[in-house]
């Protein structure tokens, strides 16, 4: 049962929500006053290289864990600013959607899970994107690598969302050698694209190498003195399948766990890729006026070789292991280099930060949830950010709870405090794997299962002081009901600004067998009507029995994805 304090807090939130009292009386998201630079001479627009890594965990980089060999990343981070209080989202699409839009998921309709290949969904058509804003500011914009933000119609493609060029994959879990991607048994297709066409015939070339070569080509053919460049290198490493050329595995031959060995080797391919890209930046004259950002998109999956140790939880969860991101900024333009920043930062912050660096007009982007944090990163000033809404996912809740509100999966950070409600995902602390084989019973031997909440089936509120307790060992929900209430009120505030979740069922017309074996857009522009799109799966308020009945097939689908997210630990996302 819930402790009384938590239950009382839950009840209050329930009342606030059900009475629609939120509101207006609530303050806006907190923001510190940060002194701004004096308006003056126009700054030179820097070249921006954003390197996004897929599923790299907290413990999967050399400067956190010396058994992982990343000399290039360690050096670049040491010479730049390491971000050690930086947050991403727990899975692919959510992080990428927030990076591209600067908005929380509750403001894009993408609160729930990933966009799967057969789902007719993508970034909202009315919302501007980071590359669009950079292009408006005069940048040449390029995406190399993984998109994973929907492609059911052409208007969703990277080239229609602000990128001048695109070379990479549209879905989320592509084979690193043959570029096949599957959405369920037998629904598989080739997924490598150049612009808006399929890039056939690339089988056998390793994805990290192929993407790095394209990045080099872009740098080689671009005149750095003529036009600023935005290169978004979105590597699919170190996501499963665990594939890498054998030569990278050899240095890790002493690692007993096979999955860990392969993952470490994949991290080494990333290190080499970053070395090659920075070499090209220097060779072709970009480096001195460049900003290099390195970030993971979510925490690691320990089941497949990754590690977030000593943090709690894993990819797909709102524990720190799922959302505390590895990241650093390297740039000759940083005013105070060789630092470790403990400033609270979030992936939505890149949108206003980079548009600001580019001299673009951020006031044109309404409803941004990110902050311009360049003075924080470059000069060490206080972060303007005091809160992070990690998410509110109304599709993800227990059905057996009487207090329906706090059964909603939600997480928020306010200052030092973090509140979790509903089911945050598996909360194990998983030490680095040392046993030689994969999952099954061995898995239990390698994780810390001494959780005091092991049997707390009905618990749905947790509170941690993340600054004092980054590994989330001490739940303070019972001791600090005042803080619980305060954070629930913030959740309730944000919830009032949420748009309905858009999470449509699969469209069988997406099947690659109908498109010469490739994943490509399958809906004609005329066919799609934006109106009605947000009448999708979830609406606030009660439904009539008739509505419930009509939505029954969706209920099954929702249930399936709920299980996919939590039970299977979402290997494919």
Site of interaction with Ca ion (CB under 5 A)? 54-55, 92, 297-298
CB 137 to Ca ion: min, Å: 28
Q: Which is nearer to Ca ion, 47 or 314 (CB)?
A: 314
Q: Which is nearer to Ca ion, 55 or 183 (CB)?
A: 55
Give the whole-angstrom CA distance, residue 171 versus residue 181.
7
Output the residue with the shortest Cβ distance to Ca ion: 92
CB 296 to Ca ion: min, Å: 8
Q: Which two structure tokens, joined as six digits, stand for 441?
A: 């019973």
10 φ/ψ sector (left φ>0, alpha ψ -120 to 50, else beta): alpha
Q: Residue 504 in contact with residue 537, Cβ under 8 Å? A: yes
131 CA to centre of own chain:
17
Q: Which is nearer to Ca ion, 244 or 304 (CB)?
A: 304
CB 239 to Ca ion: min, Å: 6
- How many Cβ atoms sit within 10 Å of the Cβ of residue 24? 7
Considering all CA atoms of the chain, what is the largest pairwise distance in Å, rounded to the nearest integer? 66
CB 91 to Ca ion: min, Å: 6
Q: Which two structure tokens, joined as six digits, stand for 333?
A: 């333009």
Catalytic residue among 47, 64, 92, 156: 92
Residue 201 DSSP label: S
Catalytic residue among 148, 193, 222, 239: 148
Strands across the sheet containing 197-198: 197-198, 193-194, 165-169, 140-146, 229-234, 47-53, 290-296, 327-330, 81-83, 339-341
CB 48 to Ca ion: min, Å: 21
Q: Which is nearer to Ca ion, 89 or 244 (CB)?
A: 89
Q: Which two structure tokens, joined as six digits, stand for 57?
A: 């965990």
Q: Which is nearer to Ca ion, 212 or 234 (CB)?
A: 234
CB 192 to Ca ion: min, Å: 18
Q: Which is nearer to Ca ion, 266 or 281 (CB)?
A: 266
Q: Which two structure tokens, joined as six digits, stand for 25?
A: 């009386």
Sign of torsion, CA 151 99 48 205?
Answer: negative
Q: Which is nearer to Ca ion, 97 or 383 (CB)?
A: 97
Strands across the sheet containing 387-397: 387-397, 408-414, 417-421, 461-465
Residue 249 contacts by C-beta under 8 Å, 6 or more apart in sequence?
A: 261, 262, 265
Give the whole-angstrom CA distance, residue 6 versus residue 13.
11
Give the whole-angstrom CA distance, residue 486 versus residue 387.
12
Q: Residue 510 in contact with residue 182, Cβ under 8 Å? A: no
Residue 241 contacts by C-beta under 8 Å, 6 or more apart in sequence?
A: 173, 175, 176
Nearest to 169 by CA among 184, 187, 189: 189
Q: Which is nearer to Ca ion, 393 or 405 (CB)?
A: 393
92 is catalytic: yes
CB 260 to Ca ion: min, Å: 18
Place of tokens 């074996």: 517
CB 93 to Ca ion: min, Å: 9
148 is catalytic: yes
Q: Supply the residues annotated as catalytic.
A: 92, 148
């Amino acid at each position: 049962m819930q402790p009384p304090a938590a239950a009382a807090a839950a009840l209050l939130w329930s009342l606030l929500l059900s009475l629609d009292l939120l509101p207006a009386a609530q303050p806006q998201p907190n923001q510190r006053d940060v002194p701004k630079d004096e308006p003056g001479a126009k700054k030179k627009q820097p070249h921006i290289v954003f390197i996004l890594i897929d599923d790299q965990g907290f413990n999967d980089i050399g400067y956190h864990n010396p058994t992982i060999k990343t000399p290039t990343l360690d050096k670049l981070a040491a010479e730049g600013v390491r971000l050690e209080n930086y947050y991403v989202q727990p899975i692919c699409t959510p992080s990428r959607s927030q990076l591209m839009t600067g908005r929380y998921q509750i403001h894009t309709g993408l609160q729930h899970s990933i966009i799967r290949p057969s789902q007719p969904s993508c970034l909202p058509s009315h919302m501007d994107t980071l590359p669009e804003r950079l292009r408006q500011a005069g940048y040449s914009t390029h995406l190399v690598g993984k998109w994973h933000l929907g492609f059911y119609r052409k208007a969703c493609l990277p080239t229609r969302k602000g990128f001048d060029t695109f070379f990479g994959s549209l879905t989320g879990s592509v084979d690193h050698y043959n570029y096949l991607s599957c959405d369920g048994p037998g629904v598989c297709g080739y997924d490598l694209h150049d612009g808006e066409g399929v890039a056939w015939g690339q089988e056998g070339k390793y994805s990290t190498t192929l993407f790095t070569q394209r990045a080099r080509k872009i740098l080689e053919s671009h005149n750095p003195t003529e036009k600023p460049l935005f290169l978004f290198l979105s590597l699919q490493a170190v996501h499963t399948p665990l594939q890498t050329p054998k030569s990278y595995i050899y240095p890790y031959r002493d690692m007993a766990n096979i999955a860990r060995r392969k993952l470490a080797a994949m991290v080494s391919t990333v290190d080499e890729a970053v070395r090659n890209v920075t070499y090209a930046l220097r060779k072709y004259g970009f480096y001195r006026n460049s900003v290099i950002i390195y970030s993971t998109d979510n925490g690691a999956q320990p089941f497949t070789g990754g590690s977030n140790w000593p943090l709690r939880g894993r990819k797909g969860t709102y524990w720190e292991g799922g959302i505390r991101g590895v990241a650093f900024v390297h740039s000759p333009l940083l005013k105070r280099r060789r630092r470790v920043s403990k400033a609270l930062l979030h992936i939505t912050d890149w949108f206003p930060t980079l548009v600001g660096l580019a001299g673009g007009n951020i006031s044109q982007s309404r409803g941004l949830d990110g902050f311009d944090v360049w003075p924080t990163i470059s000069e060490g000033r206080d972060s303007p950010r005091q809160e992070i809404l990690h998410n509110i996912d109304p599709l993800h809740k227990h059905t057996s709870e009487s207090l329906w509100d706090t059964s909603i999966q939600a997480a928020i950070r306010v200052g030092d405090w973090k509140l979790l409600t509903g089911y945050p995902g598996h909360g194990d602390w998983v030490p680095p794997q040392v046993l030689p084989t994969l999952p099954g019973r061995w898995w239990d031997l390698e994780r810390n299962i001494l959780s005091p909440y092991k049997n707390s089936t009905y618990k749905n509120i947790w509170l941690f002081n993340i600054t004092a307790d980054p590994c989330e060992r001490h739940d303070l929900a019972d001791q600090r009901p005042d803080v619980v209430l305060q954070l629930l009120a913030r959740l309730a505030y944000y919830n009032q600004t949420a748009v309905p979740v858009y999470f449509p069922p699969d469209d069988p017309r997406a099947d690659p067998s109908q498109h010469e074996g490739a994943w490509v857009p399958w809906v004609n522009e005329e066919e799609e009507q934006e109106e009605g799109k947000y009448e999708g799966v979830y609406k606030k308020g009660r439904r009539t029995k008739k509505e419930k009945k009509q939505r029954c097939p969706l209920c099954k689908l929702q249930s399936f994805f709920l299980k996919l997210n939590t039970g299977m630990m979402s290997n494919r996302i």
